[in-house]
Amino acid sequence: MEKPVTLPHFDTLPSPQEIVQITHWLQQAGLHELELKNSQGLHLRLVAGRGSQPANPPPNVQTTEAAEPATTPVTTPYFGHLLLQDPATQKAFAPVGHTVREGESVAILGLGSITVAVHAPCAGVVSNIIAQEGELVGYGRTIMSIKPA
Amino acid sequence: MTEPKHFQRVLIANRGEIALRIQRACRQLGLETVAVHSEADAQSRHVLEADIALCIGPASAARSYLDAEAIILAARLTGADAIHPGYGFLSENAGFAEAVEAAGIHFIGPTPASIRLMGDKITAKQTMQATGVPCVAGSDGPLPTDEQEVLALARKVGFPVIVKASGGGGGRGMRVVWKEEDLLKAVALTRKEAQQAFGNPTLYLECFMQKPRHIEIQVLCDTHGNALWLGARDCSLQRRHQKVLEEAPPPGIPPELIADIGQRCAQACNHIGYRGAGTFEFLYEDGVFAFIEMNTRLQVEHPVTEETTGLDIVCAQIEIAQGKPLAIKQEDVQTIGHAIECRINAENPFSFSPSPGPVTKWDLPGGAGIRLDTHITQGSTVQPYYDSLIAKVIAHGATRTEAIRRLKVALAEMQVEGIETNIPLHQALLEDKGVLDGGVDIHHLEHWLEKRSHP
Q: Find how far residue A134's CA is from the centre of its chain.
A: 23
Residues A120 and A103 sit within 8 Å (Cβ to Cβ)? yes
Whether B74 and A79 lie within 8 Å, measured CB to CB: yes
Q: What local confidence, expressed as pLDDT, does residue A25 receive?
A: 61
Q: Find how far residue A35's CA is from the centre of its chain.
A: 12
A112 close to B (CB below 8 A): yes
Chain B residue numbers touching A46 (CB-CB < 8 A): none
Is the alpha carbon torsion for B235, B240, B241, B243 positive or negative? Answer: negative
Active site residue B155: no
* Residue of B48, B56, B190, B355 to mutate, interface with A, max A Cβ within 10 Å: B56
pLDDT band at A149 (very low <50, low <70, confident <90, very high): confident
Residues B230 and B299 sit within 8 Å (Cβ to Cβ)? no
pTM: 0.86
CA torsion angle for B25, B29, B34, B37 (degrees, to 10)? 0
Q: What local confidence, expressed as pLDDT, does residue B443 receive?
A: 97
* Separation of alpha carbons A63 and A72, rounded Å: 14
Q: What local confidence, expressed as pLDDT, does residue A30 receive?
A: 58
* Separation of alpha carbons B267 and B261, rounded Å: 10
Q: Which whole-number Å values give the CA distances from B205 to B117, B146, B198, B199, B210, in the listed order?
A: 18, 14, 17, 18, 15
A121 close to B (CB below 8 A): no
B74 close to A (CB below 8 A): yes
**pLDDT averaged over 10-residue windows placed end to end, chain B, 455 residues:** 71 98 98 98 98 98 97 98 98 98 98 97 95 92 94 94 89 91 95 92 94 98 97 97 97 97 98 98 96 97 98 98 96 98 97 97 98 97 97 98 98 98 98 98 97 87
What are A45-83's pLDDT values in tens digits?
A: 666 554 444 434 444 444 444 445 589 999 999 999 999
Q: What local confidence, expressed as pLDDT, does residue A111 receive?
A: 94
Beta carbons within 8 Å of B98's beta carbon, 6+ residues apart:
B112
Bridge partners of A45?
A35
* Separation of alpha carbons B307 and B309, rounded Å: 6
Helix axes B94-102, B68-78, angle to 10 degrees: 30
Whether A111 and B54 lie within 8 Å, measured CB to CB: no
Among A24-28, A87-91, B214-218, name the one with the lowest average pLDDT: A24-28
With CA atoms as reference, the chain A residue closest to B354 would be: A32
Residues B300 and B392 sit within 8 Å (Cβ to Cβ)? yes
Q: Find how far residue B55's CA is from the centre of its chain.
A: 26
